[in-house]
Structure 1
């Protein structure tokens, strides 16, 4: 099988690989919009490291109360301490709650959301980031049907579903936001990656229904960029030759998610749709908003 980069369709806009002026988080940290996320309650599932940690850290630096969720207590405690240290100088009132839970277990997530509502009374943003990728080193019939395939579906689809199931009724009350971290793998044919690609395709479809059934909640699926992290979101097997090009920063998806969920309504036309953190958001709005809305673009569709 070839290890060349997969051919993926993209919007013809400028490709971004790091934070840029249009999505700079600085106005939310200490600038003219520094009160935007104050008193907001943010839940980040898979928030103890990598992309999820960066997202949680940005919300905390913007003054929000942040709940980070992970299976492992030690990484949660380390993440909480780091976030509080990073925000201490600018946001002395920052609060971080670390809750150990398995996103694929509905009872765990039900209890997480219940604790959040009991403690804070409301929920404003839920980010479903937890994911695994598998080994990407064999045909799907050659691996264990559970550990090498179905477990990925449980974490990558059932996990976000559980977060959505218990968070959406609360987000509906606040007119909040639901974000699911997806991947461009949803539309690529990657050898040996069927579980991961199928899971991300299903996740995109789930968020389309989220927006349809909870229209007062802005809902997005977002490709975070090509990022190598310590989290098991790519694979444990041999890396494809194109993987060294994974040079996008962890701050890129964090900044764009902050922008999408700031409550301004500016990018609500993207609710229920898939977008990539690599796409220049201003250009998407300026050059593509009309077509996206009128032609119902960036959704799952059978085209002939």
Structure 2
């Protein structure tokens, strides 16, 4: 969720665009219930990640695990959600300190989950960094490589660990991507390391989805909209500059993406703004069924000879 992602992405056959939550993606819908599931949210203590965690609590997940580096912020977020869940759902909310981009820390935490005998049903990949601001040739190589470690390697590490869990239940992976993966003239131009690495991370999961049946592990990537977050503030974007999207739109969409209703988007990327009911009835759904490259990362204008 780059701080400059504020313009809705349009499609002619999906006329309705949303900036706030709407009924079709409400976590209160019985069809979207997360009852009986354990949900792990990497980067779940603030902003979009916290909104997603809140939506999973509302959807009655059995356990929501917030993962992050800052213990105080994590505990405060978990306490807030636990308070909201009281007398409404039986959701347990846990805070686990972890630097998701640190392989040793990741090994420790996933080993802990395994030792507990638990099973992660839903993995939400929200942790990210903007990387250095400025042209790639004018920034430090180490800063750009750090963005790869967070925005790409971490996705591969967590996805492998998630996929290799012992158990036969279907797994749902939700990737919080970015409009910067395709908006090269605007978003990626301002923060090229962010666009480069978010593109790479989304392509990585696209490739994983190609090799995994959706009945085993469903993978959906989405652009969360332009949301005022710590990431936006730290990048120096004035809050009054844009008409920001409601973080709960992405939050509730993050629950919908982990349901059978979203299975047709396996391996695809979709903007959070598009009305889902219209998408399913439009030529967007038709093209998904007939065009294996639609809503995927690739080079437009090049076709292999047959």
Please report the TM-score for the alignment, with normalisation by the length of structure 1. Answer: 0.87
- What is the rounded CA distance, in whole Å, between the counterparts of 2:178 and 2:257 in structure 1? 17
Greater relative contact order (Cα 8 A, min sep 6): structure 1 or 2? 2
- What is the rounded CA distance, in whole Å, between the counterparts of 1:10 and 1:96 in structure 2? 36
1:11-22 equivalent positions in 2, closer than 5 A: 11-12=11-12, 13=14, 14-22=16-24
Q: Deviations over 1:9-55 (max 9, x none)?
A: 6433221111012112222xxxx458x32221100000111111111
- What is the rounded CA distance, in whole Å, between the counterparts of 1:267 and 1:152 in structure 2? 29
SS at 1:26 equivalent: coil
* Runs of 4+ in structure 1 over 3 Å off: 4-10, 234-240
Contact 2:177 2:202 in 1 (8 A): yes
1:268-283 equivalent positions in 2, closer than 5 A: 268-283=263-278
Of the structure 1 ranges 283-292 and 207-216, higher mean CA displacement relative to structure 2 is found in 207-216
Which residue pairs with 1:227 in the alignment?
Answer: 227
The answer for unaligned runs of 5 or more in structure 1 is none
Which residue pairs with 1:301 in the alignment?
Answer: 298
Which residue pairs with 1:48 in the alignment?
Answer: 45
- What is the rounded CA distance, in whole Å, between the counterparts of 2:117 and 2:52 in structure 1? 20
Contact 2:24 2:276 in 1 (8 A): yes
Alignment RMSD (CA, Å):
2.4
Give 1:145 shift. 2.0
How many residue pairs match? The answer is 288
Which residue pairs with 1:218 in the alignment?
Answer: 218
Please report the TM-score for the alignment, with normalisation by the length of structure 2. Answer: 0.86
Q: 1:198 to 1:246 in 2, by over 3 A?
A: farther
1:136-285 equivalent positions in 2, closer than 5 A: 136=133, 138-147=134-143, 149-170=144-165, 173-189=168-184, 190-215=188-213, 216-230=216-230, 232=231, 234=232, 236-239=234-237, 244-262=241-259, 265-285=260-280
Q: Deviations over 1:109-129 (max 9, x none)?
A: 233223223335212100110
